[in-house]
């Protein structure tokens, strides 16, 4: 009897100890997982470039909507927190659609100014062009283009919507750029001034100006009311492949074959920042459409990157194309990013 009771006690103690041990191991495993996750977050945060200037770090935290200083926090801790905040603010992106229609390499893609996440509600949502001179209009409730714009006999490098949504600008390797009235699908303006092919075009937010970047390594700003070039920007060492106005109206970004992106201040007529953006030529630059605090770049190294101001430090890399990234754009609400490539595909990326 005593032996039986002793055996039962031993068995009970064994199962009780085993259960407590298992619970303890689970708690330890959860704690280890949390520590490893935190370690990985801090490791990723250290890979994000953060300014060593404490004033710029505070400005970055303010732009991210975070307190610029916590109680007892010094410059080093603040800099580390800035990197973590940037990491938390960067959205993941998911591919949602691949479209095909051009017969040759796609050169550029551009969202209509009124395009939103409810893209199927509009007849025309995007325009694209290719190296064979073709220009196509797209509606995203169809996998096929809805219209073609005909008239170019040489390579069309870029397409750009006027803020009104009625006009479309195109650039051509015949050293000119053109403006089209889509209501009648006719050319209404033909501008010349670059000594080599015009690769990119972008309109000022108020619609009064146009900026062009050429293979002659110069950027020009045009007054659409007079048709005259009113500003000449010099500084890149190689061809300019992309140009984009900031929503604030006085900053302008250019991407070049010298692998850099430059941000210009039109009020001072000078370059403010030179960003060593990619390992190959920068084919496309775009400011965030809402406030211009973020800048996107695409390049011939097959990737696109997201940069943040102040300091224009890297935030996110979009990798997935099998060929050179030729162009990119953001939807007006900032929820979609479109990229196009030499692999003859468009990719649409959505913030989760």
Q: Please name which of 161, 190, 165 lies closest in space to residue 175, comparing C-alpha atoms.
A: 190
Q: What's the rounded mean pLDDT across residues 50-79?
A: 76
pLDDT band at 24 (very low <50, low <70, confident <90, very high): low
H-assigned helices in the chain: 2-47, 54-63, 75-89
Contact (Cβ atoms closer than 8 angstroms) between residue 101 and residue 144: yes
Q: Supply the pLDDT for residue 46.
A: 56
Q: Please name which of 330, 257, 346 lies closest in space to residue 296, comparing C-alpha atoms.
A: 330
Number of H helices, E strands in the chain: 3, 24
What is the domain partition of the chain in residue ranges?
1-47, 49-89, 93-351
User: How far, in Å, CA of 282 to CA of 258, rounded?
Assistant: 8
Q: Say whether pLDDT at 266 is over 60.
A: yes
Its CATH architecture, for the domain 93-351, is 7 Propeller (2.130)
User: How far, in Å, CA of 41 to CA of 85, rounded?
Assistant: 10
Structure tokens at 186: 């006719």
Contact (Cβ atoms closer than 8 angstroms) between residue 134 and residue 175: no
Average pLDDT, the chain: 80
pTM: 0.64
Q: Say whether pLDDT at 86 is over 80.
A: no
User: How far, in Å, CA of 199 to CA of 188, rounded?
Assistant: 19
Q: Supply the pLDDT for residue 335.
A: 77
What value, to the nearest 5°, has the Cα angle with vertex 280 and ends 222 and 101?
Answer: 70
* Three-state DSSP class for residue 204: coil
């Amino acid at each position: 009897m005593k032996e039986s009771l002793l055996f039962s006690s031993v068995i009970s103690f064994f199962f009780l100890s085993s259960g407590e041990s298992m619970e303890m191991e689970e708690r330890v495993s959860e704690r280890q997982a949390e520590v490893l996750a935190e370690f990985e977050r801090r490791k990723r945060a250290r890979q994000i470039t953060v300014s060593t200037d404490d004033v710029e770090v505070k400005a970055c935290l303010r732009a991210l909507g975070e307190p610029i200083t916590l109680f007892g926090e010094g410059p080093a801790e603040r800099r580390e927190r800035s990197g973590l905040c940037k990491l938390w603010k960067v959205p993941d992106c998911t591919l949602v659609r691949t479209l095909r229609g051009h017969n040759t390499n796609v050169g550029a893609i551009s969202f209509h100014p009124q395009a939103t996440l409810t893209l199927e509600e509009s007849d025309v949502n995007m325009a694209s062009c290719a190296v064979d001179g073709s220009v196509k209009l797209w509606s995203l409730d169809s996998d096929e283009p809805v219209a073609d714009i005909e008239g170019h006999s040489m390579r069309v490098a870029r397409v750009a919507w006027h803020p009104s949504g009625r006009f479309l600008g195109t650039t051509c390797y015949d050293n000119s750029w053109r403006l089209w009235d889509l209501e009648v699908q006719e050319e209404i303006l033909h501008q010349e001034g670059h000594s080599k092919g015009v690769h990119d075009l972008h309109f000022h937010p108020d619609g009064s100006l146009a900026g062009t970047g050429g293979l002659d390594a110069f950027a020009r700003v045009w007054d659409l009311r007079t048709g005259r070039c009113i500003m000449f920007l010099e500084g890149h060492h190689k061809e300019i492949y992309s140009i984009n106005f900031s929503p604030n109206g006085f900053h302008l970004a250019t991407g070049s074959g010298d692998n850099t992106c430059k941000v210009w201040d039109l009020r001072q007529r000078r370059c403010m920042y030179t960003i060593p953006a990619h390992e190959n030529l920068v084919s496309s630059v775009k400011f965030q459409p809402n406030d211009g605090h973020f800048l996107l770049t695409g390049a011939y190294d097959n990737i696109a990157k997201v940069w943040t101001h102040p300091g224009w430090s890297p935030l996110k890399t979009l990798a997935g194309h099998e060929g050179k990234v030729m162009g990119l754009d953001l939807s007006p609400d900032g929820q979609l990013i479109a990229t196009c490539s030499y692999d003859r595909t468009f990719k649409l990326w959505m913030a989760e």
